[in-house]
Amino acid sequence: MPTQQSILITGGAGFIGANLVRYLLEQGGYRITVFDNLSAGSKDNLQQAVADSQKKVSDTFFIEGDILDADRLTEAMRGHDRVIHLAAETQVRESIRNPRPHLEINAQGTLNVLEAARLAGVRGLLFASSNAAAGRQEPPVHEGIVPCPMSPYGAVKLYGEALCTAYYHSFGLPTAIFRFANVYGPYSLHKTSVVNRLFGRIYEGQPLEIFGDGLQTRDFIHARDVAQGLELALRQPLENDRVWGQIFQIATGVETTIRDIAGMILRLKDRNGSSLVFRPPVAGEVRRNVSDIAKARRVLGFEPRMKIHELLPSLWEWYRQSRERRPNPLTTAGD
């Protein structure tokens, strides 16, 4: 790996982006540019992540821009070694209610990112995909399955994966695809993910809403472990075809029910199961979701270290304090 890599992160002011910026700064050896339109992320997220890293602010730069602006995107990428493409519409339920923005932003936006990287001479691109691209599968989900997305969000993520593969083979642009499981962690106040939604109900003194019977399962991975997986890929030489042109499941391999998560959160507030309210199930929702991470372990040396049952108390404190500072968080991203 070069002495210092120059990295551009689309969507870097968002939840995963802020955690990634902090992690890269802590590892050292990276000069980071964040490209974000601030529709979901915020400069506060980014500034807090940089401060928490206890590294120099001068190692991180910010460009306000939209991935639908192809010219600005291409100009921003010039001079960078690698790109990590995180920017996206990410709310599964909203993609079902209103699919068009997901198709326009995620499909055209990803095409713009890939084309900009090609034109700017970028030497490697990491694409943030999702287990939603795999869809309904017999768990554990692995990289070799035939995808069957259940939502427009999952379908457009699968399209993005196909574009990455096409650019790798057609233009020689090194790409690697990372299918994230359900990500949780700090800098996520604007998210309406499972954990945040339940935190919000507890904070407001309301019963916890569970859609369906609560026995649907997810593979919950901390954003810091996601950042670990991405950073391990950044270290790989371009000639390593075990990484470039490949798909990786980035998860923990641990299956947890939504009802279990709700129970853990209730115990944080010394409340019992009577505080649960069950709602009708959501169309397009995957029943079971857990990943086989053997390939990421074997090829990248990836090893998730963060355990949700151990981290929920500290994450709740972060959420509570953040809500006190900002009582009306955005709700622009999703599960």
Residue 153 among the catalytic residues: yes
| CATH code: domain of residue 92 | 3.40.50.720
Catalytic annotation, pick one of 153, 168, 184, 319: 153
Does 289 reside within a domain? no
Question: In the numeric block, which tokens belong to residue 136?
Answer: 């309904």
Residue 262: which of 331, 308, 223, 314 has the closest Cα? 308
Indicate whether 315 belongs to any domain: no
Cα distances from 62 to residues 15, 17, 79, 186, 247, in angstroms, run 15, 12, 15, 20, 29
Mean pLDDT of the chain: 92
Three-class secondary structure assignment of 182-211: EEECCCCCCCCCHHHHHHHHHHCCCCEEEE
The yes-or-no verdict on residue 162 having pLDDT over 50 is yes
Q: What is the mean pLDDT of residues 180-202?
A: 93
**Residue 191 within a domain:** no
For 33-80, what is each residue's pLDDT tens digit? 999 999 999 999 999 999 999 876 667 899 999 999 999 999 999 999
The residue assigned the tokens 């198709």 is 103
| Residue 295 resides in a domain | no
Residue 234 inside a domain? The answer is: yes
Segments forming the whole domain that contains residue 164: 5-184+221-250
pLDDT digits (tens, 9 = 90+) for 123-142: 999 999 999 999 989 999 99
CA dist 49 and 15 (Å) reads 10
Is 328 part of a structural domain of the chain?
no
Q: Are 47 and 18 in contact (CB under 8 A)?
A: no
Segment 90-114, tens digit of pLDDT: 888 889 999 998 889 999 999 999 9
How far is residue 168's CA from residue 175's CA, in Å, rounded to a whole number?
Answer: 6
How much is the pLDDT for 101? 85
Would you state the torsion angle of the CA atoms of residues 270, 187, 117, 176, taken in this order, to the nearest 10 degrees? -30
Q: Which two tokens stand for residue 223?
A: 């954003």
Query: How many percent of the chain have pLDDT more than 90?
Result: 83
Does residue 318 lie within any of the structural domains? Answer: no
> What does the alpha-carbon distance between residue 287 and residue 55 come to, in Å, rounded to a whole number?
42
Q: What is the pLDDT of residue 108?
A: 97
Per-residue model confidence (pLDDT) at position 286: 82
Q: What is the pTM for the complete model shown? A: 0.93
Reported as a single tens digit per residue, the pLDDT across 303-329 is 999 999 999 999 999 999 999 987 555
Domain count for the chain: 1
Is the pLDDT at 331 greater than 60? The verdict is no
Check whether 271 has a pLDDT greater than 80.
Answer: no
Q: In degrees rounded to 5, what are phi and psi of residue 320?
A: -60, -45
In a domain, 78, yes or no: yes
Please tell me the predicted confidence (pLDDT) of residue 293: 99
